[in-house]
Amino acid sequence: MQTENCRLRSRGAALTPRFAFCILISAVTSSVHAQSFFNSRGLGEVSPAGEARIAGLAEPSALSTLNPGIFVGPNQTSFHVTALAAAALGTQGSNTRLLRDARPGAFGMATPLPLGTRLFGGINQKFGQDFDVWSESLADTAYRRHIIGRGGIYALRVGLAKSLFDKVCIGAEYNHLLGGSRENWRFETNTGDYTSTDTIEVDYSANTFKVGGSFQNRTFSLAAYYEPPLNLGVRRYKHVHGVIDDTTRFYNISLPQSYSLAAAISPTDRVGLDLGLTVYPWHDATITRSDTTLPLGYRNVWRGSIGVEYEIDSLHPVRVGYSRQTWYYDASHNVSGYIIFEPVTSPITENNIHLGTSVPIPKFGTLDLSGEVLLRHSEFLDEVAGRLMLTLSYSEAWTRRTRRWGY
Amino acid sequence: MKKLAIAGCRVAADRVPQALRFVLSALSFVALACNTLPVGYDQLHDRVTGTADTTLLPDSAASYARYVPLGGSSILYLGQDTSYMSRIVLRFSILDTMDLDSITSFQLVLHQPDTLATMSFVCHPCSSEWTESGVSWQMADSFNRWPTPGGDFLPDTLAAGTMLGDSAVFDFRYVGFDSALRANIRDCGIGLFPQDTGIVAIYAGTGTISTATAPRLRVTYTNKGKQTQRVVNDVADASLIDTVATHSQPYDLLVGSGVAFRTWLSFNTDMIPPEATIARADLKFKPRLKYHRADTIELGAYRLTESFTQKGANARYESLPSAYAGYLVPADGDTVVTIDIRSLVQSWVNYPETLWTNRPASDTTLPDSLRNHGLLITAWPEWSALFRFRIPRSGPDAPRLDIQYVLPPEDRFK
C-alpha cells in the first residue's frame, strides 16, 4: 500500500516525457537568445558545461560529463540534451541595453561496453561569440555602425572510460573542435541608409585530446580532467561589400593547457557540498600568421565554485551555488570617445549566483532546471546576465541520483 | 453569493497595481531590448578603422546634343514653338488586295491626351523607307540618313485638318492615287506636318499597352451589299524632333529629351582607398529649367566605357543607367536633383587609375572599359516628355558628389 502511495505521489509531481520535451523544444525555438557585450574579443566567453544539474551547483565542470573520467558506476545507456536561454543587460556610463539569445546548449550520450568500459560522446559549445553592438547614437553624430556577431567554437567529443573497483574511473576523449563566427558590419548613414559594408567570417578547426579521472564513494568524490595545449587553425574570410576582391587569411592560435578539479562531499543523506576549480593559464597564448608569432595578451585565470544540494524530499532536490572567475581576456575602453587613442584595457570579473532543481520523469529520467545570475564587471562596462538551462536527461552517470529515483 | 462577489472584487482590486507593475516592467524590458545605445562598442574600438566624408567637384564637364530615335515613345509630338519643331511619321499595313472600288470612305483617326489642345496639320506621303527603331530627324534608320534632314516627303496631300478634342477623324486620300503611290504609302508611310504654333501630344501605337488610342486608318467599304468597317492600326510611328533654339550658351551643360542633350561629368576618385565601401554617393546639382512639358522629369546616370576626352560625343556608355532619379519640377525652381550613384562610384574606387598607369604595357588583362571615364547624365528615356535644363558649371548649384565611405574593420585576431 505504501509503495502504491509513493507511486501515485510520484506521478502527481512528475512531468510526462511529452510535456518535458515540449518545454525543451519551446526553449530552443524561443526568441530569447546567449550573447555578451564582451564576446567580440578573444575567442569569446568560455561556455558552460551544458548540464543544468551542474549549472545549479555553480558549474564544477570536473563533475560534469566534460570530464571523460566521470563515468564510475552506471552500466546503462544514458543521454542528455540541453537548451539554453540567456539575456544580458549591459550598462556603460548612462546607457543600458539588453541582448537576448537562445540556442541548443549541449548533447551528450554514453553507452556501456564490456570489461567495465564505457563509450561516450557529445556536442557542446566551448566558446561563444554572439554579440550585437551599436556605435554612438548621439544626435550630432553623422552615422552609426551596427555590428552583429554570431557563432562559436564547438566540440564534437567521443571517448572511452574505464571503471575500476566501482569507485574509480579514468577516461580519455578525442575532441574535434570546429565552428565559426560571422560578423556583419553594418553602416547607417546620416540620411538613414542602412547598408552592410563588411562581413567577416572566421572558421575554426582543431583536434585535441582530454584525459580525466574520478574517485567516488558514498560520502566523498574527487574528480579532475586535463586538456593539453590546443592548436586552433583559423581561416578568416573578409568580404568587403561592393569591393571585388575578398581576402582570406590563415592563422594558428595556440592555447596553453587547462585543467579542472572538483570535490563533492555528502556529510548527510540529504546534503551535498560541491567545490570546483578550473584553471586557464593562458598568458602564453599566441597567434601565428605567416611565420610571425605574437602574444594574444590573454591572462592566467581561474574559476572557483561552491555549490550545495539539499533534498527537500526524495524527489525534489534544490541546488544553490556561487562562482567567481576572471575572464582570460580584457575588456577594452576608448578614453576619448571621439579620437582614436590606444584603448585602455581592464580585467573582466564575474560573480555568479546559481540555482537549480530537478523534476523526475517516470520511466525516463529527469528534467533538470537551472537559473543563473551572472554579474560581469569591467572598469567601464558592466553586464548582468541571466541564464536559464533545461536539461532533459536519461542519465545514470551520477550514482547518488540513480539510487534516489530508483531507476 | 454576495460575500463571494465582494471577495472577488477585492481580489481584482488588489491585482490592478500588480498587473500595472508587470506591464510597466515588461514595457521597460522591451524598451531596453529595442534600443540602439552604444553599450559595448568600445570592445570593438581597436578594430574600427574609420569612415570619411568627402565632396568632389567635377574635374571635367561637357555637354553635347544628339538626334536620337524616338520610336519607342508612347507619345508623338506634332508642332513647333520657340524651342522645338516636331513632325510625325506613321506607317500602316494596308492590304493591297483590297477591292478599292467598294471603298466608300478612308479616314485617319488620331487621339490626344490633352482634349483642349488644337493643331492644324497636313499629311504627305514619305518618299523613303524608315524604321521605327532608328528613325530620327537626321536618320531614316540606324545606318541611312534622310537626304533632307527632317525626312523626305512627296508633295501630294493625303489629309489635312485640325486636331481637336480627344480624337479626330480626317478624310484620307488613298483610293484615288495610282498604284505606285499607294505602294509608296504602304512601304514608306506618311508624315504629319504642323501648320500652327505650339506643340500637341498624340498617342502613339507603339510603347503603349492599349491599342484603342493608336493612330489608325478606318476603311468603310461595301461587302456583299453591306456597309463594313475595317480598322488598320499603325505598325510603326515616331516623332522627328529638332531644336529651333536652345536658348543657351555654347559651354552650357544641358540635359534634355526629344533632341537628346547629354552632360558628361568626370570625378577623380583616386584619393578614396580601393578597399573602401561606399556607403553614400549622391550627385547633386540644382538645374535651371529651360523647357518642360511634364511635371516629372526622369534622369539617368550612365557609366562611360570609353574615354570622353578622346572620343567626345562618340564615347560609348553602358546600355542601362547605373542610377535613376526623378525630378519633380518645383514651383519655386529651388529643388536640388540628387542621384544616388553609389554603385558607380564603388566601381571607380575598385579600379583606380593606378591599375592602368602602373601595369606593364604588354598587360592587357584589365580592359580599358573599367577605368573611370566619368558619367553621362541624360533624360531617361530620351524619348520621354520634352524637357531641357541647364546645369550650372560653377557656384553653389553646380554638380558636386557627396561621398561617405567606410574602411573595412580590422580582424578579430591581429
Q: How far is A344 from chain B (nearest CA, A)?
A: 10
Residue numbers in A near B40 (CB within 8 A)? 37-38, 40, 90, 92, 97, 131, 133, 381
Mean pLDDT confidence for A282-295: 92
- Do residues B357 and B239 make contact, with C-beta atoms less than 8 angstroms apart? no
DSSP-derived secondary structure for A188-250: E-TTS-EEEEEEEEEEEEEEEEEEEEEEE-SSEEEEEEEE--EEEEEEEEEEETT-S--EEEE
With a cut of 70, which residues of chain B have pLDDT below it? Answer: 1-34, 96-99, 207-210, 331-334
- Do residues B215 and B207 make contact, with C-beta atoms less than 8 angstroms apart? no
Report pLDDT for A265: 93
- Do residues A308 and A272 make contact, with C-beta atoms less than 8 angstroms apart? yes
Q: Which residue of B has its CA nearest to A248?
A: B411
- Which residue type occupies B201? A
* Residues in CB range of B175: below 8 A, 6 or more apart: B100, B103, B106
Q: How far is B8 from chain A (nearest CA, A)?
A: 29
Q: Does A377 lie at the interface with B, CB-CB under 8 angstroms?
A: no
Q: Does A235 lie at the interface with B, CB-CB under 8 angstroms?
A: no
Q: Return the closest-CA partner of residue B131 out of B118, B147, B146.
A: B146
Alpha carbons A162 and A70: distance in angstroms, whole number: 10
* Residues in CB range of A340: below 8 A, 6 or more apart: A334, B45, B48, B50
Q: How far is A342 from chain B (nearest CA, A)?
A: 8
Alpha carbons A392 and A351: distance in angstroms, whole number: 27
Mean pLDDT (chain A, rounded): 82
Please determine, for residue A95, whether its predicted confidence score (pLDDT) is greater than 70: yes
Q: Return the closest-CA partner of residue A79 out of A53, A104, A108, A50.
A: A108
The reply to whether ipTM tops 0.95 is: no
Which cell goes with A40?
567580440
Determine which helix (DSSP H) or strand (DSSP E) holds B106, and give its type and residue range: strand B103-111
Residue numbers in A near B33 (CB within 8 A)? 97-100
Q: Return the closest-CA partner of residue A62 out of A352, A326, A376, A277.
A: A277
Residue numbers in B near A38 (CB within 8 A)? 40, 43
Q: What domains appear along chain A, each with residue ranges and CATH number?
A: 6-395 (2.40.160.60)
Residue numbers in A near B46 (CB within 8 A)? 332, 343
Report pLDDT for B28: 62
How many CB atoms within 10 Å of residue B346? 22
Q: Which of the residue ranges A75-79, A90-94, B125-129, B281-285 would you say has the lowest mean pLDDT?
A: A75-79
Nearest by CB to A198, from B37, B277, B412: name it: B277
Do residue B412 and residue A236 have CB atoms under 8 angstroms apart?
A: yes
Mean pLDDT confidence for A132-160: 81
Mean pLDDT confidence for A53-71: 90
- Which residue type occupies A277? L
Do residue B39 and residue A287 have CB atoms under 8 angstroms apart?
A: no
Q: Return the closest-CA partner of residue B413 out of A336, A294, A75, A303.
A: A294
Residue numbers in A near B32 (CB within 8 A)? 89, 96-98
Phi/psi for A172 (5° steps) reads -140, 145
Alpha carbons A148 and A145: distance in angstroms, whole number: 10
- Do residues B80 and B194 make contact, with C-beta atoms less than 8 angstroms apart? yes
Report pLDDT for A109: 84
Report pLDDT for A199: 87
Nearest by CB to B33, from A100, A183, A332: name it: A100
Please determine, for residue A252, whether its predicted confidence score (pLDDT) is greater than 90: yes
Q: Is A125 helix (H, G, I), strand (E, B) or coil?
A: strand
Q: Return the closest-CA partner of residue A278 out of A308, A263, A256, A258.
A: A258
Burial of B134 (0-12, 13-18, 19+ CB in 10 A): middle
Residue numbers in A near B406 (CB within 8 A)? 187, 197-198
Report pLDDT for A402: 43
Report pLDDT for B52: 83
Percent of chain A scored above 90 by pLDDT? Answer: 41
Query: What is the pairing mode between strands B387-391 and B103-111?
Result: unpaired
Q: How far is A72 from chain B (nearest CA, A)?
A: 41
Alpha carbons A146 and A245: distance in angstroms, whole number: 23
Q: Which residue of B has its CA nearest to A250?
A: B413
Alpha carbons B217 and B174: distance in angstroms, whole number: 11
Alpha carbons A240 and B178: distance in angstroms, whole number: 71
Handedness of CA A377, A382, A384, A385 (dihedral sign): negative
Report pLDDT for B360: 81
Report pLDDT for B26: 61
B202 vs A73, more confident: B202
Taking only residues 81 to 110 of chain A, the set having a beta carbon closer than 8 angstroms to any beta carbon of chain B reads 89-92, 95-100
Mean pLDDT confidence for A263-267: 92
Output DSSP code: residue A48.
P
Chain B interface, best mutation among A334, A378, A384, by max B CB count within 10 A: A334
Which cell goes with B223?
461587302
- Do residues A188 and A135 make contact, with C-beta atoms less than 8 angstroms apart? no
Which cell goes with A294?
605574437
Q: Which residue has the cell 516623332?
A: B239
DSSP-derived secondary structure for A64-81: STTSTT---S--S-EEEE
A301-345 residue pLDDT tens: 999 999 999 998 878 899 999 999 999 999 988 765 444 556 688
- Do residues A149 and A125 make contact, with C-beta atoms less than 8 angstroms apart? no
Q: How far is A154 from chain B (nearest CA, A)?
A: 18
Nearest by CB to B43, from A40, A183, A289: name it: A40
